[in-house]
Amino acid sequence: MANIKNRKFIALDISGKNYLSWVLDVKLHLSAKKLRHTIDEDNAASNEERDTALIFQRHHIDDGLKYEYLTVENPLELWQNLNDRFEYLKAVVLSNALNDWSQLRFQDFKTVAEYNSTLFKIVS
């Protein structure tokens, strides 16, 4: 439980339900730490940079995923493995958003604020 307090954001769930937001969070944090290049193809990252990025990634994934990818020692490889596993979610989210967009009607909401909130949720 103490481990949760040290996390910068919510860990990637084993089901992948928060994968899309997790990807954005990891990219932002790695960029802030000047480690974003460690998850890019053909990078020239030092061993120390790779280790730091891998520790950060592993710290922000579910324990079940951590054990599944225990032998992965490169942050790029872990990034690609998780992408291969959860990439399909983009298509699912997009189709759901398109469906929600087509059914969005202003008259279904009591206030403009509720409509705007729903609209921005679909857009994001």
Task: Please list the pLDDT of the chain residue by residue as tens digits (124 residues).
Answer: 444 556 677 888 888 888 888 888 899 999 999 999 998 888 888 889 999 999 999 999 999 889 999 899 999 999 999 988 888 777 776 677 677 777 777 677 678 788 777 777 766 6
* 118 inside domain: yes
Please check whether residue 25 is in contact with residue 9, taking contact to mean a CB–CB distance below 8 angstroms: yes
Q: Is the pTM of this model over 0.85?
A: no
> Is 90 a member of any domain?
yes
For residue 3, what are its two tokens? Answer: 């481990």
Residue 35 lies in a domain: yes
Check residue 100 and give its pLDDT: 74
**Domain with 98 in it:** 18-123
Which amino acid, 78? Answer: L
Q: Assess if residue 43 is contained within a domain.
A: yes
Predicted pLDDT of residue 5: 56
Q: Specify the DSSP class assigned to residue 89.
A: H
pLDDT score, position 2: 46
Residue 65 maps to a domain: yes
C-alpha closest to that of 100 among 123, 77, 83: 123
